[in-house]
Amino acid sequence: MRGDWHYLDNGAELSAHGIVPVGTVLAVHGNPTWSYLWRDLVTAATDRAVEAAAAAGEHPDGVGDAWRVVAVDQLEMGLSARTGRRRTLADRVADLSAFTDGLGLAGPVVTLGHDWGGVVSLGWAVDHPDLLAGVALLNTAVHQPDDVPIPAPLRLALARGVHRLGTSMTRAFLDTTLALARPGLPRDVADAYRMPYRTAADRAGIEQFVADIPADADHASRPELDRIAEGVRGLDVPALLLWGPKDPVFSDRYLDDLLHRLPQARVHRFEDAGHLVAEDVDYAGPVLDWLGAAAPEPSAAPPEGFRPIWAGLDERAADAASRTEQAVLDLTATGAGRVVSWQALDRQVRRIAAGLHGIGVRRGDRVSLLVSPGPTLTALVYACLRIGAVVVVADAGLGLRGLTRAQRGAWPQYLVGQTRALAAARAAGWPGVRIAADPLDPVTRRALGVDHELIDVARAGEGHALPPEPGHEDDAAVLFTSGSTGPAKGVLYTHARLAALRDALAEHFAVGPDTGLVTGFAPFALLGPALGTRSVTPDMDVSAPRTLTARAVADAVRATDARMVFLSPAAILHVVDTAGALTEDDREALGRVETFLSTGAPISADMLASAQSLMPAAEPHTPYGMTECLLVTDITLDGIRDAASAPDDGVCVGRPVGAGQVLISPLDDDGAATGAPASGPEVVGVLGEVLVSAPHLKERYDRRWLTDVAAERDTPAGHWHRTGDVGHLDAEGRLWIEGRLAHVLTTVDGPLAPVGPEQAVESVAAVRRAAVVGVGPAGVQQAVAVVEPLAGVEGAPRRPGLAPQELDAAVRAASSVPLAAVLVVPELPTDVRHNSKIDRARLAAWASGVLAGGRVGAP
């Protein structure tokens, strides 16, 4: 039998070096590729093993990275035999078993498959549990829902009059597949893929493979596909899924299905990769890295004193003294002063939770919530968490393109939205069973593809018992980053980590039942019930912080007698700017606020002081955090003023909160964070990347395993995150943030962080805000200041370009570093969510173009 097969095998070369492999990777290609697909893995596995053996000296048999790779050409494909037999899926699985038997392949074996080779490899895996050590997959599918047609490209390839002509009589199917590479394949690589398929007879296997696609339930190969799909659920071995989401055939729908069958899998979606993911990205390195660290992590015991995130709601609703008190108040235009008591909120949470379970939502299912903050969203979030559904939250500020990327990346099974969101979902093809948050007329409901209305779901859940609660290690929420430093990423929190966030906030800020929260910052708008205190969303568009006014804050404080106010920096700017409209009653209400927090981006002491002037009894805080860890450090206005007495470069953000820890990984001359992370005297005043750890740090990035690996690169033992922020620690243990790692200038004098020089430039009276960016080649970059003048300054330019001579001179005189140029813009571009983080990358590209003589337009 082996004489009929062609395969790649690095076993002989390993043996020639005296290397005994720890296991075998059995790699199976799909249609119309062949074993050439796996050439990089064969080479990389060999090179890594030989290098490790050389380092091991006299003990090459102890090399942990030594993996044999066997990459087979399936019969009728590649350089294997053309037998003339028409093969079904069951035949191909049996063929592969016969091949490995003939090869005498012993365990441990890790299967690796792509396209329909993924199904064949999984069939082998299901049939050889005694040899199996793991499964790895590139874009493939193991299940086809009866109510979903197969992908359009496959329907076309199967169409009468197209099938044979496109697959065997011509190279159309082959060339179309090769054209899916992103970027296009080099000519020699494309020619190598075509080499085994020169004639129609050579391509007969391509035709047969397409014909064997189980397009419907009656197809001859459907029983075998279903057998494998169910068998995969029982594979209790490490798994790896590397995915190209631009694939027009195997979309994220199939990735989501695989994850339900292999929940233990580590997953990475290469955002710009497609069907030929093995050609689009470096997959071999990640596969080998995973092979070296594929052991499943042991389950952890619940944290001491663990209380689920909804415990505060339960307690207030069960307490006769508080159940009728105000829990959530919505003052937005859509909410129109809606008030919900603890008892009513608890009842609605339970109704929705039972109703969602009744329509099929199960533990681990993802539910995307595209509903404005307020009582409805609050009830939805806690209802989902109660039944173990995973809440997916992506900010509308991401825009349609960013939201589409987020929805397809998270691939929720259900989507709850208001009418505008449902229309976007319909237009952009977002996944998920549609649930309308608002009542709809029949015509609109059909047009938007709505399956259920939330009001009916809640009614159906009335009086029904809830399923068992999720565990502390179960996934709870996927929160998307702002997209201000690259495409928005999903950040996954477990129930334990959400509970830890609640506890850190409650302890550090002394939040109790009588505190009351005004939440003008979307990420914290849902924490009131978790903290057991009433909360109110002021009259604003939460996706546009600059819509919040001082009077709206006063109205919210007065309506709930709140003692704590959460605002974003962009919201504070507008609140301060609109303070002139406050009445005496408004100022009296604001005077009762005891704690004021600005979080989401750094804010100056002057702006914090301006906000405090509106809330004179409040202690202003400006916590530092990110979506990955919403609360890292904290500092008060007095703390900022104390730090200013011996000023460092950057923004002082205080000391770690609770059990949180901060380390600095020093930068090298190339601006890379290569230094050993530390927090002692050796790093005081040293510029480096900020690393954080806390019980409420995110569990992982969602479906971005390689990003997790990078974020935990060279970190100490434990659960750490490389933030991408740069700064330093001072002798008092306070953290100073000086910018983003990606924005560090690499000058002839070494790395230069932007925030310190920007602060110096902003000391110029005519400058409202400034950005310092680098132009020129790495290592010899020059600093350029881009300034936004204060409104109304006499002679302030109205168009972007070079700064006027007087402003140029003032900025250069104030700057702490030499400047190659001073440019001016009417308004600095900011990120989409906070409207306060300056987009330095965009400004750097614009400044480079301007100084190179390009057209001067808006950045």
DSSP per residue, 153-180: HHHHHHSTTTHHIIIIISSHHHHHHHTT
Cβ neighbours for 359, distance < 8 A, ≥ 6 positions apart: 433, 452, 457, 460
Report the C-alpha gap between 392 and 410 in whole angstroms.
Answer: 7
Task: State the residue for tokens 């299912």.
Answer: 365
pLDDT tens readout for residues 421-464: 999 999 999 999 999 999 999 999 999 999 999 999 999 999 99
The answer to whether 757 and 785 are in contact (CB under 8 A) is yes
What are the distances in angstroms from CA 197 to CA 9, 27, 91, 167, 505?
A: 22, 20, 22, 10, 64
CA dihedral 159, 162, 165, 168 (to 10 degrees): -40
Alpha helices (H) in 509-563, listed in sequence order: 528-531, 550-560
The answer to whether 396 and 420 are in contact (CB under 8 A) is no
Question: In a 3-state reduction of DSSP, which class is residue 136?
Answer: strand
The answer to whether 407 and 368 are in contact (CB under 8 A) is yes
DSSP conformation letters of 49-65: HHHHHHHHTT-GGG-TT
Q: Where in the chain is the domain with CATH 3.30.300.30?
A: 745-851
492 token code pair: 């996954």
Mean pLDDT within 586-606: 87
Work out the angle at residue 723's Cα, subtended by the Cα atoms of residues 720 and 724, and round it to the nearest 5 degrees: 140
pLDDT at 336: 64
669 token code pair: 């001359």
Q: Cis peptide before 108, with omega less than 30 degrees from 0?
A: yes
DSSP conformation letters of 231-245: HHTT--S-EEEEE-T
72 token code pair: 């087979």
Question: Which segment of 23-37, 86-100, 644-658 scores lowest on mean pLDDT?
Answer: 644-658
Mean pLDDT within 484-506: 91
- pLDDT of 404 above 70: yes
DSSP label of 195: G
The answer to whether 353 and 387 are in contact (CB under 8 A) is yes
Task: State the residue for tokens 């309506």.
Answer: 559
408 token code pair: 């397809």
The answer to whether 669 and 637 are in contact (CB under 8 A) is no
pLDDT tens readout for residues 119-172: 999 999 999 999 999 999 999 999 988 878 888 888 888 888 889 999 999 999
Residue whose C-alpha is closest to residue 79's, from 172, 197, 188, 189: 197
Give 634 or 859, the one with higher predicted confidence. 634
- pLDDT of 500 above 70: yes
pLDDT at 159: 86
**pLDDT grade, residue 217 (50/70/90)?**
confident
- pLDDT of 601 above 80: no
794 token code pair: 């006499």
Report the C-alpha gap between 395 and 709 in whole angstroms.
Answer: 26
Cβ neighbours for 626, distance < 8 A, ≥ 6 positions apart: 481, 632, 723, 725
What are the distances in angstroms from CA 490 to CA 405, 478, 520, 591, 804?
A: 10, 6, 22, 39, 44
- pLDDT of 504 above 90: yes
The answer to whether 202 and 34 are in contact (CB under 8 A) is no
Mean pLDDT within 216-237: 95
Rg value, the chain, Cα = 30
Tell how strand 767-775 and strand 782-789 pair up.
antiparallel
**pLDDT grade, residue 62 (50/70/90)?**
very low
Most confident of 221-235, 536-550, 796-810: 221-235
Report the largest interatomic distance among the alpha carbons of the chain, rounded to a whole angstrom.
93
Alpha helices (H) in 330-398, listed in sequence order: 342-358, 375-386
Q: Where in the chain is the domain with CATH 2.30.38.10?
A: 643-743
- pLDDT of 417 above 70: yes
DSSP label of 109: E
pTM greater than the 0.85 cutoff: yes
pLDDT at 1: 46
Looking from the CA of 392 toward its CB, the CA atoms found within 13 Å total 29
Report the C-alpha gap between 482 and 126 in whole angstroms.
Answer: 41
Report the C-alpha gap between 383 and 313 in whole angstroms.
Answer: 11
Going through 481-575 in order, the beta strands assigned E by DSSP cover: 490-494, 517-519, 535-537, 564-567
Report the C-alpha gap between 231 and 225 in whole angstroms.
Answer: 10
pLDDT at 546: 80
Burial per residue of 653-673, b for 16 or more beta-carbon CB atoms within 10 angstroms, e otherwise: bbbbbeebebbbbbbeeebeb
Question: In a 3-state reduction of DSSP, which class is residue 540?
Answer: coil
Residue whose C-alpha is closest to residue 426's, from 444, 452, 406, 442: 444
pLDDT at 540: 84
Give 709 or 302, the one with higher predicted confidence. 709
189 token code pair: 């690589």
pLDDT at 64: 58
Fold type of domain 643-743:
Luciferase; domain 3 (2.30.38)
Mean pLDDT within 215-225: 91
Number of helices (H) and strands (E) in the chain: give both, helices first.
31, 35
Task: State the residue for tokens 């793991």.
Answer: 134
Work out the angle at residue 21's Cα, subtended by the Cα atoms of residues 20 and 27, and round it to the nearest 5 degrees: 150
Task: State the residue for tokens 């003008």.
Answer: 520
pLDDT at 3: 62
pLDDT tens readout for residues 715-756: 898 899 999 999 999 999 999 999 999 999 999 999 999 999
The answer to whether 844 and 758 are in contact (CB under 8 A) is no
The answer to whether 838 and 829 are in contact (CB under 8 A) is yes
- pLDDT of 61 above 70: no
Mean pLDDT within 622-651: 91
pLDDT at 395: 81
Question: Which segment of 51-60, 255-264, 332-341 scores lowest on mean pLDDT?
Answer: 51-60
Burial label, 581 (beta-carbon count in 10 A; 0-12, 13-18, 19+): exposed
DSSP label of 830: B
Task: State the residue for tokens 């703390």.
Answer: 639
**pLDDT grade, residue 834 (50/70/90)?**
very low
> Which architecture characterizes domain 2-144+222-292 according to CATH?
3-Layer(aba) Sandwich (3.40)
As assigned by CATH, the class of the 745-851 domain is alpha beta
Question: In a 3-state reduction of DSSP, which class is residue 171?
Answer: coil
Report the C-alpha gap between 34 and 195 in whole angstroms.
Answer: 10
- pLDDT of 568 above 90: no
- pLDDT of 380 above 80: yes
Mean pLDDT within 706-714: 88
Give 398 or 109, the one with higher predicted confidence. 109
Residue whose C-alpha is closest to residue 54's, from 98, 18, 96: 18
Q: Where in the chain is the domain with CATH 3.40.50.1820?
A: 2-144+222-292
- pLDDT of 398 above 70: yes
What are the distances in angstroms from CA 748 to CA 672, 699, 760, 786?
A: 15, 39, 21, 21
The answer to whether 800 and 859 are in contact (CB under 8 A) is yes
Residue whose C-alpha is closest to residue 106's, from 23, 185, 47: 23
The domain 313-332+339-494 having CATH identifier 3.40.50.980: the answer here is yes
Alpha helices (H) in 515-619, listed in sequence order: 528-531, 550-560, 569-577, 584-590, 605-614
Mean pLDDT within 380-385: 97
What are the distances in angstroms from CA 104 to CA 74, 79, 345?
A: 17, 21, 64
